[in-house]
Structure 1
Amino acid sequence: MTRVLLVDDQPLLRVGFSLILEAEEGLEVVAEASDGLEAIAAVAEHAPDVVLMDVRMPRLDGIEATRRIVAEHPETRVIILTTFDVDEYAFDGLRAGASAFLLKDVAPAELVQAVRVVASGDAVVAPRVTQRLLETYVRVAPGAGASAQAPEPAEAPPEDPLLQDLTAREREVLTVLAEGLSNAEIAHKFFLSEATVKTHVRRILTKLHLRDRVQAVVYAYETGLVVPTQGLDY
């Protein structure tokens, strides 16, 4: 049974999502919260597998709540709920440790699938959607926030020493992973099996102390391994 916590200051949205999820076998909504402080308390009390987290809420916003939940309960996965697919709040959520983001008007079947996939430890955001978000908001310099859009060129940061622990193949896989390739596409590119690609991805996450594929993409951009390009045609 996958346990879900709904966090949003709009009761109607919580009711709608709850009805969708509760109708599915294997999914259980264990609690609801209307702000970030309630969310933190609910995670501590109910230990959900997945948190659906709104961003703009009273008392404590969803970004800071995500940061605290991820730090205190690493086994809990967070999905950020946002209004636009390219949204600085979604980007901030990924940087804070969220495993994915979803649009609030997501189709019921996509919502259910997202919760199941994130609970399994995989990424749910389409790689190229994540890439587009990062291309828009990331700065090459580490630690820069999403509030700065269209960043000016910056000096590449020093290479993270953790990258030295990667094999040449693992570094190649991380680079193309950050560029938006799926496991199947990576396998085709390097003439590998998908099982081998999954093994490489798992080892990359372990060596770099990352939670999931989405965090690996954010890491690759923020360390300068992949440099945002301008004027991409989407």
Structure 2
Amino acid sequence: MKNYPVLVSALALATLLCSAYVPATDTPAKKAVATAVAVTSLPVNTAGSTITWNAKKFGGEHTGTVQLAKGNLEVNGRKLQGGSFEIDMTSITDTDITNPDFNAKLTNHLKSEDFFSVEKYPVSTFKITKVSPVAKAAAGAPNYTITGDLTIKGITNAITFPATVKIDGNMADATAKIALDRIKWDIKYRSGLLGTAADKVIEDTFTIDLHLKAGAAQPSLGSN
């Protein structure tokens, strides 16, 4: 019985230690916090921007323009992030034919079912889906590779092309030369794929020279 006080003291100490222990699993887990990134939307200056097209055929070519209806470039500081655009297909014109009657004939043909079906599809769209900066791009050379979805005649295809983009504060200037295969958008008139006589063929690939000017910033907030 002499050891009884010692036993009681040991049990009391053990009880105290057990009651003071807090399992590590009771500690709340740390939650990841999204980093806010300031994204600025720069509306495209449609009056100051141009889209020039060029189509080649056997023994010649035609050039013309089409107008942007609206659009925007999304930037973060001096970096391009994205953008989306609407093209007014009813504005398509030819600029190389000087005879008014012949010019009107070609323009109306381009708007017809043989080409862009403008009455049914008055708007084409382009939305940027990926922006890849070009490392160590030379001054004046393309500094981005842009991928996006181009919709013409209700048909959407992904396209990728190089672009030169300059961003200065709330202003941006972008240029690009884009080659398009018209067959992908069901524009097959006088295509060589249809067995058209060689002297009547219109090349399947046509090009777009794009020059965009954007400004008048409208700040928004995105998350990374």
TM-score strictly above 0.5: no
Point out the structure with the larger strand share: 2
TM-score, normalized by length of structure 1? 0.21
Q: Report which structure shows greater RCO (CA 8 Å, sep ≥6).
A: 2
TM-score, normalized by length of structure 2? 0.21
Point out the structure with the larger helix share: 1
